[in-house]
Structure 1
Amino acid sequence: MGIFTRSVASRKPNESMKLIVTTFVGVVFGFLIGLAFPALYLSKFNLSSSVLSSIDFKYTEYTKSSPSSSADVPLPVGNDSSSTNVTSNKIWVPSNPRGAERLPPGIVRPESDLFLHKLWGKPSEDLTSMPRYLVTFTVGYDQRKNIDAAVSKFSGNFTILLFHYDGRTTEWDEFEWSKQAIHVSVHRQTKWWYAKRFLHPDIVVPYDYIFIWDEDLGVEHFNAEEYIKLVRKYGLEISQPGLEPNKGLTWQMTKRRGDREVHKETEEKPGWCNDPHVPPCAAFVEIMAPVFSRDAWRCVWHMIQNDLVHGWGLDFALRKCVEPAHEKIGVVDAQWIVHQSVPSLGNQGESQDGKAPWKGVRERCRKEWSIFQMRFSAAEKAYFKAINSTSR
């Protein structure tokens, strides 16, 4: 310690000044060197493949980014060398379905189906067959025998879907086919209420044709597979079976003709059709037993009003969903049914002011028809007005 103290004390002033200057020059030189080279970011660090192989990436959090961002790059996935560059990633794909813009497109499944799956085994082995058609019935348990007879007319190519308006579902297991059917139960609702909520076009997209039928149809002279053949043969996008001509007819258009397989037009009472190509003389089927192609149903589903549950008025507007409507809407005469006119759903109403339940239901039907007509007319007028104003 004595020697060290003496050596420091014995330094000359000029040597101390040299030391200070040298230190200052070194600091400045180091600072300039730092500016001359880019910063080394940890996120750009290239990890060796041996290190990466020992890391299990279980979860990657994607942060929200602006749709206009041009720097959004998907996170690399795989074992190639490019996947070793881990960067800060943000995903926004405007072409994805609304709400799924932040997902990588490869994982997006915008459509679904009604196919039944097992709870065990491999997912790839779940489906031994995939039905090509869908038939729905809106039912009460009292009509079970009629529905059992109707279901027998539909082959294994059909998914059977029952909408229960009386809440009784388990009793249907007396029928073997019911155990493979889909059952949806909500008290006192109509088939159009069910259809709007459970038959979204992206759910029923696997089916070529969708039957949306009432429960009180006699099907002794009907075969679903033969019906589909005729629908394809005549290019019908919207159709129905012909109705027995001697019972409960409302419109001439839906009356079965015995001299042909299909008809697409008719003659009605004088003054009812100003144009032979519009309803009820053409481009018209009733709502008791309609059959829609996949594409036609996508349009019709959007047309169905959420609060108008009986569907009255839809039959006159269906022509808006296909073009030319008088060629693509028709009645299949060779496969015909009987409308039994059982007021089962009408009896689900409530008695008001001393009126029978079915009378209140019928009044609601007429009100909805009027409301639907006014809405459609107003919507069309507003559209054409907007188009005309922008074209000036």
Structure 2
Amino acid sequence: RWNWNRRTGAEGLPRGIVQTSSDMFLRPLWDPAANRAIPKNKNDRHKALLAMAVGISQMQNVDVMARKFLNESYTVMLFHYDGNVDGWRSLEWSDKAIHIVAPNQTKWWFAKRFLHPSVVAIYDFIFLWDEDLGVENFDPRRYIDIMVSEGLEITQPALDPDLSTDIHHRITIRNKMTKVHRRVYDNRSSMNCSDDSKGPPCTGWVEGMAPVFSRAAWKCVWHLIQE
């Protein structure tokens, strides 16, 4: 909500013309009706943005990931680190995604420059993912529902040990007995994870490959990115 007492540089503007937020919905210049048509989200309560740094070699996998989110009317933004955008035109949803190009940059570099909290404030959740994740059994809408019901701010989908061969941290392994787990227990001296544990590798750990941030969390995390 706009606070007229805050000094933002817009103090001299008439109240009626101040637009305090933006979004990533595409509005073609040649279709005036499209400027007014904002996509209807199947899950009206929440808006989500999937942002990934991608290369053409991972197009097939990214195709699967993007469809999952676009089918829920969520926004997809692709950061092209290899400079190849034209190679994605064959995908039917390509024109529905936002494409940003900067050769040889990481997803964190892109996020720092193009996902400022003020720009993405319309989104309730930011999925800042790697391009090579397997999402065959992932449902983004259900995942968001779980985050909301559990009051979670920074999360990642758990890894299925039967499908994932590259698991480095036990806390990221799926617990089939619960929807959510916040810590692991291990009595080995190398781990020593108990209810008294206050940090990684026992609790408070999310991998950088598949983090999901709430709007409030992203406002903080963006300032910590050093890229």
If the length of structure 1 is used for normalisation, what is the TM-score?
Answer: 0.51
The alpha-carbon deviation at position 122 of structure 1 amounts to: 5.3
Match of 1:183 in 2: 99
Q: Where in structure 2 are the equivalents of 1:200-219 lying within 5 Å?
A: 200-219=116-135
The alpha-carbon deviation at position 280 of structure 1 amounts to: 2.2
Paired amino acid for 2:147:
V
1:302-332 Cα offsets, whole Å, 9 max, x none, are 1112x3xxxxxxxxxxxxxxxxxxxxxxxxx
Match of 1:270 among 165, 171, 189: 189
Higher relative contact order (CA 8 A, sep 6+): 2
Q: Tell me, which stretches of 5 or more residues in structure 2 are unaligned?
A: none
Distance 1:124 1:197, change over 3 A: closer
Whichever of the two has the greater Rg, that structure is 1
Shifted more, 276-285 versus 195-204: the winner is 276-285
**Structure ranking higher in helix proportion:** 1
Shifted more, 210-219 versus 258-267: the winner is 258-267
Match of 1:294 among 197, 215, 219: 215
Paired amino acid for 2:80:
H
CA distance in 2, matches of 1:273, 1:115: 48
Match of 2:200 among 264, 279, 299: 279
Distance 1:247 1:122, change over 3 A: closer
Aligned-partner SS, 2:109: helix
CA distance in 2, matches of 1:190, 1:116: 24
The answer as to 2:169 corresponding to 1:251 is: yes
Q: Where in structure 2 are the equivalents of 1:205-354 lying within 5 Å?
A: 205-245=121-161, 247-267=165-185, 270=189, 272=191, 275-305=196-226, 307=227
CA distance in 2, matches of 1:138, 1:123: 27
CA contact (8 A) 2:50 2:126 kept: yes
Match of 2:24 in 1: 114
Match of 1:145 in 2: 60
Match of 1:129 among 34, 40, 54: 40
The answer as to 2:15 corresponding to 1:100 is: no
The alpha-carbon deviation at position 209 of structure 1 amounts to: 0.8
CA distance in 2, matches of 1:301, 1:164: 20
CA distance in 2, matches of 1:162, 1:124: 22
1:86-118 Cα offsets, whole Å, 9 max, x none, are xxxxxxx76231x33433444333422111113
Match of 1:71 in 2: none
CA contact (8 A) 1:112 1:205 kept: yes
The alpha-carbon deviation at position 271 of structure 1 amounts to: 5.5
CA distance in 1, matches of 2:115, 2:166: 29
CA distance in 1, matches of 2:215, 2:26: 20
CA distance in 2, matches of 1:270, 1:190: 36
Q: Tell me, which stretches of 5 or more residues in structure 1 are unaligned?
A: 1-92, 308-392
Match of 1:174 among 90, 95, 98: 90
If the length of structure 2 is used for normalisation, what is the TM-score?
Answer: 0.85
Aligned-partner SS, 1:262: coil
CA contact (8 A) 2:80 2:101 kept: yes
Provide the identity percentage.
45
Match of 1:67 in 2: none
The alpha-carbon deviation at position 151 of structure 1 amounts to: 1.7
